[in-house]
């Protein structure tokens, strides 16, 4: 165990050390994010920072921690990761269309499904149990694409996606190691190795950032989050399904409400806007760094809630889920994530409170 912990530290140091070289390479290749109406950066910034994370993670898994992993799985995942990294690098340099990016991610997801064998095969929920059969393929692909793009969408501020992913992955590793017993120690070790690579990169990426993740990093992190969480979902139970969704609450919430918002405004789902969670918090008066720290706090709340699921009974999990959805909706409406006039739950609560106030007679001494 001590040698594994040392390996994590080495991974972190490698990531921190090679990031400046990746920064120089980004300038050489033209992977630079220039300011525009949709960006918050005011000067040209090198992107492609995810390459440093990928290189340090790959070196550790193939060299330092090699005996901990299944050879076939390791090489299959590496092939899929490479496809994602190449897709992200091309996008950072030349800017791909959403369809082209989706094609690259789909190819990587197919590699994971057919070569790595990481897939959902059964659903075992309360009062129902069935094999997914041919649905296993589309369900697995949709899961990978959805989580990957969710992480990509929150990559809007210095250190935001990196920090949120560290929190999510660390929680996932703890739950996988102590509670879910996914059947192999390799998965939690791989998760913590990725956490170490991200921690090494974060000082270069935190506000004021010296380098951005770029699509190279955001797509890679999102892809790995989806695949590593999928490792525990081969046989889906209620807890195994809910836990990764809750852990990834920040990117999933932001993505879900972005889709709803754009549909309500009759805008294409792929059309970017400045109404994401971090945009709304900054519009409310928070500084860049304050916004990032607040979202870190929200991610920690989601993670703490996720840790309660393995410790609760079935009905406790149901109540926890209902309370989480209720609280989340209140928060979303209070910051106007869907718009100032779209807060049905808050309006309903206010009407009930006003009615109770009218119906309550004034008490006199």
What pLDDT is stored for residue 178 in this prediction? 78
- Range among 41-55, 185-199, 276-290 rated most confident: 185-199
Q: Could you give the dihedral angle defined by the CA atoms of residues 176, 234, 304 and 61, in that order, rounded to the nearest 10 degrees?
A: 40
Q: Is the model's pLDDT at 19 over the cut of 70?
A: yes
319: in domain: no
Ranges 41-45, 108-112, 296-300: which has the least confidence: 41-45
Q: Is the model's pLDDT at 193 over the cut of 50?
A: yes
Residue 180: which pLDDT band, with cuts at 50, 70 and 90? Answer: low
Question: In terms of pLDDT, which residue wins out, 58 or 309?
Answer: 58
Alpha-carbon radius of gyration of the chain: 21
**What does the pLDDT average to over 102-131?**
86
**What does the pLDDT average to over 167-175?**
91
324: in domain: no
Question: In terms of pLDDT, which residue wins out, 345 or 124?
Answer: 345
Q: Is the model's pLDDT at 278 over the cut of 80?
A: yes
Domain tally, the chain: 1
Which residues on neighbouring strands pair with residue 128, listed in sequence order?
Answer: 125
What pLDDT is stored for residue 15 in this prediction? 97
Q: Is the model's pLDDT at 97 over the cut of 80?
A: yes
Percent of the chain past pLDDT 90, that is, above it, reads: 50
C-alpha span between 343 and 188 (Å, rounded)? 40
Task: Report the candidate in 254, 261, 238 with the shortest Cα–Cα distance to residue 310.
Answer: 238
Helices 214-230 and 160-175 meet at what angle, rounded to 10? 20
348: in domain: no
Backbone angles phi, psi at 61, to 5 degrees: -70, -30
Percent of the chain past pLDDT 70, that is, above it, reads: 91
**pLDDT tens digits for range 72-84:** 999 999 999 999 9
What pLDDT is stored for residue 362 in this prediction? 60
Q: Is the model's pLDDT at 41 over the cut of 80?
A: no
**pLDDT tens digits for range 126-149:** 666 778 888 999 999 999 999 999
pTM: predicted TM-score of the whole model, two decimal places = 0.89
**pLDDT tens digits for range 292-339:** 999 999 999 999 999 998 888 888 988 999 999 999 988 888 888 877
| Angstrom distances, CA of residue 287 to CA of 11, 43, 281 | 32, 18, 9
What pLDDT is stored for residue 353 in this prediction? 83
Q: Is the model's pLDDT at 241 over the cut of 50?
A: yes
What pLDDT is stored for residue 255 in this prediction? 85
Q: How many Cα atoms occupy the beta-carbon half-sphere of 83 within 13 Å? A: 20
Q: Is the model's pLDDT at 61 over the cut of 50?
A: yes
Question: In terms of pLDDT, which residue wins out, 133 or 22?
Answer: 22
What pLDDT is stored for residue 182 in this prediction? 47
What pLDDT is stored for residue 53 in this prediction? 97
Q: Which structural domain, as residue segments, surrounds residue 297?
A: 2-311
C-alpha span between 10 and 213 (Å, rounded)? 21
What pLDDT is stored for residue 364 in this prediction? 47
Q: Is the model's pLDDT at 227 over the cut of 60?
A: yes
356: in domain: no
Q: Is the model's pLDDT at 340 over the cut of 70?
A: no
Cβ–Cβ contacts within 10 Å for residue 228, how many?
Answer: 22
Q: Which residues contact 86 (CB under 8 A, 6 or more apart)?
A: 104
272: in domain: yes
C-alpha span between 68 and 3 (Å, rounded)? 12
What pLDDT is stored for residue 13 in this prediction? 97
Q: Is the model's pLDDT at 246 over the cut of 60?
A: yes
321: in domain: no
Q: Is the model's pLDDT at 260 over the cut of 90?
A: no
Q: What is the mean pLDDT of the chain?
A: 87
Instruction: Please indicate if the annotation marks 152 as binding a ligand.
Output: yes
Residue 257: which pLDDT band, with cuts at 50, 70 and 90? Answer: confident
| Angstrom distances, CA of residue 321 to CA of 234, 258, 344 | 22, 21, 20
**What does the pLDDT average to over 271-285?**
82
138: in domain: yes
What pLDDT is stored for residue 88 in this prediction? 96
């Amino acid at each position: 165990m001590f040698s594994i912990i040392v390996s994590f530290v080495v991974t972190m140091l490698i990531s921190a050390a090679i990031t400046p070289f990746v920064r120089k390479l980004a300038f050489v290749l033209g992977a630079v994010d220039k300011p525009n109406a949709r960006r918050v950066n005011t000067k040209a910034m090198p992107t492609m920072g995810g390459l440093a994370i990928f290189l340090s993670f790959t070196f550790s898994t193939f060299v330092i921690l090699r005996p901990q992993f299944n050879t076939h799985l390791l090489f299959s995942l590496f092939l899929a990761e490479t496809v994602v990294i190449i897709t992200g690098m091309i996008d950072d340099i030349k800017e791909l269309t959403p369809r082209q990016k989706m094609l690259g991610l789909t190819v990587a997801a197919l590699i994971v499904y057919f070569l790595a064998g990481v897939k959902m095969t059964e659903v075992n929920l309360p009062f129902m149990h069935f094999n997914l059969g041919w649905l296993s393929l589309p369900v697995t692909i949709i899961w990978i694409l959805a989580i990957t793009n969710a992480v990509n969408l929150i990559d809007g501020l210095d250190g935001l996606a990196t920090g949120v992913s560290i929190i999510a992955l660390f929680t996932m590793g703890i739950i996988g190691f102590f509670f879910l017993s996914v059947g192999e120690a390799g998965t939690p070790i791989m998760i913590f190795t990725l956490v170490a690579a991200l921690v090494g990169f974060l000082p270069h990426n935190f506000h004021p950032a010296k380098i951005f993740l770029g699509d190279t990093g955001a797509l890679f992190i999102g892809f790995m989050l989806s695949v590593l969480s999928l490792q525990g979902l081969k046989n889906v139970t209620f807890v195994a399904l809910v836990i990764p969704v809750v852990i990834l609450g920040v990117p999933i919430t932001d993505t879900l409400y972005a889709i709803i918002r754009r549909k309500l405004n009759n805008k294409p789902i792929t059309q970017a806007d400045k109404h994401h969670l971090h945009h709304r918090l900054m519009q409310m008066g928070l500084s860049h760094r304050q916004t990032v720290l607040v979202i870190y706090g929200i991610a920690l709340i989601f993670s703490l809630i996720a840790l309660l699921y393995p410790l609760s009974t079935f009905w406790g999990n149901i109540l926890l889920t209902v309370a989480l959805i209720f609280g989340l909706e209140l928060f979303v409406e209070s910051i106007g994530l869907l718009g100032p006039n779209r807060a049905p739950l808050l309006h309903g609560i206010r009407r009930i409170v006003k009615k109770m106030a009218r119906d309550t007679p004034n008490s006199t001494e």
